Amino acid sequence: MWSFLLSTKAVIIFSKRFKNHERNMMKIGIILLFAITLTLSAQAPDYSNFMYVYADGNRIDLLNGYASPLVTDWDSDGDKDLLIGRFAYGNIMIFTNSGTNDSPILSYSGLLQAGGVTLSVPSG
């Protein structure tokens, strides 16, 4: 709340310094102050209650981190599967779900391929 009050006061002071023909600059200033207020008032994420994800009975370990997960019905069987893009290798791992969306059972299905060739992008 304090950040909102300070921002409101800053907007009033900011708007008094400009004449009517400089309204565009005032609008930009208001937008910037609003964005700064939202940024400063946001809470940091809490990572203390994480859980490991398992496939084939083993914890999924990406080795070099920087993963980009995607949960989607990859194989069109009605349940959610897991795809993980790996920054260090430039490829995508596929984990299919043989369980349900509430109780998934993931299995490693390999790397994303097209025409028998593993797809990759520049990495590292």
Question: Per the domain annotation, does 103 fall within a domain?
Answer: yes
Q: Are residues 58 and 34 in the same domain?
A: no
Q: Are residues 24 and 60 in the same domain?
A: no
Q: Hey, what amino acid is at 37? A: T
Question: Per the domain annotation, does 123 fall within a domain?
Answer: no
Give the pLDDT confidence score for residue 35 in this predicted structure.
64
Give the pLDDT confidence score for residue 34 in this predicted structure.
63
* Averaged pLDDT for residues 52-69: 86
Give the pLDDT confidence score for residue 3 in this predicted structure.
43
Residue range(s) defining the domain that contains residue 71: 54-118
User: Per the structure, how many domains does the chain have?
Assistant: 2
Question: Per the domain annotation, does 33 fall within a domain?
Answer: yes
Q: Looking at 13-102, which runs of residues are DSSP E strands? A: 54-55, 58-59, 67-72, 81-86, 91-97
Q: Are residues 61 and 109 in the same domain?
A: yes
User: Beta strand 81-86 with 58-59: parallel, antiparallel or unpaired?
Assistant: unpaired
How far from chain centre, in Å, is Cα 124?
Answer: 19
Q: Are residues 58 and 113 in the same domain?
A: yes
Confidence at 29, pLDDT banded by 50, 70, 90: low
Question: Per the domain annotation, does 7 fall within a domain?
Answer: yes
* Averaged pLDDT for residues 48-76: 87
Q: Which residues contact 120 (CB under 8 A, 6 or more apart)?
A: 89, 90, 91
Helical ranges in 1-124 per DSSP H: 2-16, 23-41
